[in-house]
């Protein structure tokens, strides 16, 4: 449905254009939730904005193609996007309060979204708007319809935003940190709503978050972004339970949920390299316990893993690492290419991620 081919993005920093997202290729299919995991600065939000054609002025697409049902979006004139928005592509934000016009009633904003693409008589429009509110799990749609944004709770606001975004049942819904600002119980309800939209309405959802637990809960497919590079993709189970890229493994070790109780959280030493000082080789090499000289000089290509456990799976498990983590027959991690110069790095990987 949506095909992204060698898409790369650049950011304007210090008066030059610097690569912010190295060429990446992936597809999004109807009825599928794709989770993008990445730390701040990984380029995940920029990717989402590029797909929506709402990149800020300091960012631009350097190369590649984004095709929606075969139509190239990158060459689509700006005014033509109006008919794409809402009906084919929809986007929701991290902060639901900011996404709603504070001076307009929820109902009017919903009607605006509906009437942007359809000529509907007022009565019919109101009926459909109320139904849309009900479908996103709002129990008293009449009250919310008449309310101003400041009169309803954060969870309600995010539901209202989702109702606005999906009222025309778009092919793709991009949720950029859409549950990060919500508390745990509301977050689960919103995630369940995404599952319903994806499975019942066959919507494709691109769920972007640094919240690994949330991604694990909803995503069918996971992409791991780091410093503007795609490091690993695959089915949820493959990526989270059998990570191949050392970065993914390190990231999981830093999440309480994935570690045995009583063990110290590992954390990842060092920081994401700034956009102005990206290494020529693997982007993770400076922080990686397994990095060799080759990692520091050559860019590892994206390859499909020949892991026997994923052979039967339809979603290929890919990674961009010269020394992927391997597993023995017991499912324990072993690593054949461990860098002898960093024994502490080796030690980290002996421990198996806790089952959950």
Partner 1 sequence: MSYLAQRLLIAILLVFLVSFASFAVLMLLPGDPVRLMLGTEAPPHLVEELRAQYGLDRPWLLQYADWLAGAVSGNLGESFIYKMPVTQIIVDRLPMTLSLTIFASLMALLIALPLGIWAAVKRGSWVDGFIQAVVQIWIAIPNFWLGILLLLGFTVMIPLFPPGNFVPISEGLGAHLHSLFLPALTLAIAEAAVLIRMFRASLVEVLNKDFMTFAHTKGLPTRKKYIRYALRNSLIGPITVIGLQVMSLISGVIIIEQIFNLPGLGRLLLIAVQQRDLFLLQGLVIFITVTVILVNLCVDLLYTRIDPRIQLHATKRRTT
Which residue shows structure tokens 């390299």?
A: 273
Q: Which of 51, 287, 86, 230 lies closest to 168 in space, CA to CA?
A: 86
Say whether residue 52 binds partner 1 (CB under 8 A).
yes
DSSP assignment of 37-105, as one string?
A: E--TTSSHHHHHHHHHT---TTEEEEEEEEEETTEESTTS-GGGHHHHBTTTEEEE-S-HHHHS-TTS-
Say whether residue 331 binds partner 1 (CB under 8 A).
no
Number of residues that bind partner 1 (CB under 8 A): 31
> Tokens standing for 263?
């063990």
Say whether residue 122 binds partner 1 (CB under 8 A).
no
The CA-based dihedral angle spanning residues 330, 334, 336, 340, taken in that order and rounded to the nearest 10 degrees = -160
Say whether residue 206 binds partner 1 (CB under 8 A).
no
Q: Which is nearer to partner 1, 82 or 332 (CB)?
A: 82
Say whether residue 76 binds partner 1 (CB under 8 A).
no
Q: Is 153 helix (H, G, I), strand (E, B) or coil?
A: coil
Q: Which of 268, 252, 209 lies closest to 354 in space, CA to CA?
A: 252
The distance of closest approach from Cβ of residue 173 to partner 1 in the complex, given in angstroms and rounded to an integer, is 11
Say whether residue 164 binds partner 1 (CB under 8 A).
yes
Say whether residue 143 binds partner 1 (CB under 8 A).
no
Say whether residue 101 binds partner 1 (CB under 8 A).
yes
- Which residues neighbour 26 within 8 Å (Cβ) at sequence distance 6 or greater? 4, 34, 223, 230, 233
Q: Is 173 helix (H, G, I), strand (E, B) or coil?
A: strand
Among 70, 77, 102, 121, which residue interacts with partner 1 (rule: CB under 8 A)? 102
DSSP assignment of 289-320, as one string?
A: TT--HHHHHSPPPPEE---GGGTT-SS--EE-
Among 99, 223, 224, 272, which residue interacts with partner 1 (rule: CB under 8 A)? 99
Segment contacting partner 1 by CB under 8 A, of 101-109, 125-133, 181-189, 326-334: 101-109
Say whether residue 111 binds partner 1 (CB under 8 A).
no
* Bridge partners (DSSP) listed for residue 334: 326
The distance of closest approach from Cβ of residue 103 to partner 1 in the complex, given in angstroms and rounded to an integer, is 5
The distance of closest approach from Cβ of residue 50 to partner 1 in the complex, given in angstroms and rounded to an integer, is 13
Q: Give the gyration radius of the chain's Cα atoms.
A: 22
Say whether residue 353 binds partner 1 (CB under 8 A).
no
Q: Which is nearer to partner 1, 11 or 92 (CB)?
A: 92
Say whether residue 182 binds partner 1 (CB under 8 A).
no
The distance of closest approach from Cβ of residue 102 to partner 1 in the complex, given in angstroms and rounded to an integer, is 6
- Which residues neighbour 178 within 8 Å (Cβ) at sequence distance 6 or greater? 92, 93, 94, 96, 158, 162, 190, 207, 209
Say whether residue 71 binds partner 1 (CB under 8 A).
no
Segment contacting partner 1 by CB under 8 A, of 59-67, 84-92, 239-247, 260-268: 84-92
Q: Is the dihedral of CA 32, 25, 290, 286 positive or negative?
A: negative
Say whether residue 54 binds partner 1 (CB under 8 A).
yes
Say whether residue 165 binds partner 1 (CB under 8 A).
yes
Among 5, 65, 95, 339, which residue interacts with partner 1 (rule: CB under 8 A)? 95
Left (φ > 0), alpha (ψ -120 to 50) or beta: where does 87 sit?
A: alpha
Segment contacting partner 1 by CB under 8 A, of 92-100, 254-262, 308-316, 336-344: 92-100
Say whether residue 274 binds partner 1 (CB under 8 A).
no
The CA-based dihedral angle spanning residues 182, 164, 69, 82, taken in that order and rounded to the nearest 10 degrees = -120
Among 104, 186, 213, 303, which residue interacts with partner 1 (rule: CB under 8 A)? 104
Element (H, E) at 250: helix 246-253
Give the residues lining the site for partner 1 (CB under 8 A).
52, 54, 81-87, 89-93, 95, 98-104, 112-113, 116-117, 148, 150, 161, 164-165
């Amino acid at each position: 449905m949506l095909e992204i081919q060698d898409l790369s993005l650049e950011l304007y920093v210090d008066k030059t254009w610097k690569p912010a997202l190295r060429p990446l290729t992936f597809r999004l299919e109807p009825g599928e939730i794709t989770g993008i995991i990445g730390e701040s600065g990984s380029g995940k939000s920029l990717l989402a904005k590029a797909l929506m054609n709402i990149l800020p002025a300091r960012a631009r697409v350097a190369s590649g193609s984004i095709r929606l049902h075969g139509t190239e979006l990158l060459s689509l004139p700006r005014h033509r996007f109006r008919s794409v928005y809402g009906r084919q592509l929809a986007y929701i934000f991290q902060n639901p309060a900011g996404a709603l016009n504070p001076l307009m009633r929820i109902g009017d904003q919903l009607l605006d979204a509906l009437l942007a693409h359809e000529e509907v008589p007022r009565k019919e429009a109101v009926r459909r708007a109320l139904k849309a509110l009900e479908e996103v799990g709002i129990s008293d749609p009449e009250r919310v319809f008449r309310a101003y944004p400041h009169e309803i709770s954060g969870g309600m606001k995010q539901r209202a935003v989702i109702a606005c975004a999906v009222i025309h049942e778009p092919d793709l819904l991009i949720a950029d940190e859409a549950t990060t600002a919500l508390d745990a119980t509301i977050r689960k309800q919103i995630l369940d709503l995404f599952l319903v939209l994806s499975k019942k309405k066959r919507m494709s959802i691109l769920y972007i978050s640094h919240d690994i637990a949330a991604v694990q809960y909803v995503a069918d497919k996971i992409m791991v972004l780091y410093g503007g590079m795609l490091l690993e993709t695959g089915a949820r189970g493959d990526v989270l339970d059998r990570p191949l890229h050392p970065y993914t493994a390190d990231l999981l070790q830093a999440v309480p949920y994935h570690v045995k109780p009583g063990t110290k959280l590992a954390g990842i030493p060092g920081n994401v390299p700034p956009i102005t000082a990206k290494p020529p080789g693997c982007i993770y090499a400076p922080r990686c316990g397994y990095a060799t000289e080759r990692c520091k000089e050559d860019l590892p290509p994206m390859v499909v893993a020949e892991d026997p456990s994923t052979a039967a799976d339809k979603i290929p498990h890919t990674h961009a690492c010269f020394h992927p983590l391997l597993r023995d027959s017991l499912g324990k991690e072993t690593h054949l290419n461990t860098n002898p110069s960093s024994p502490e790095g080796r030690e980290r990987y002996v421990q198996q991620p806790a089952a959950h």
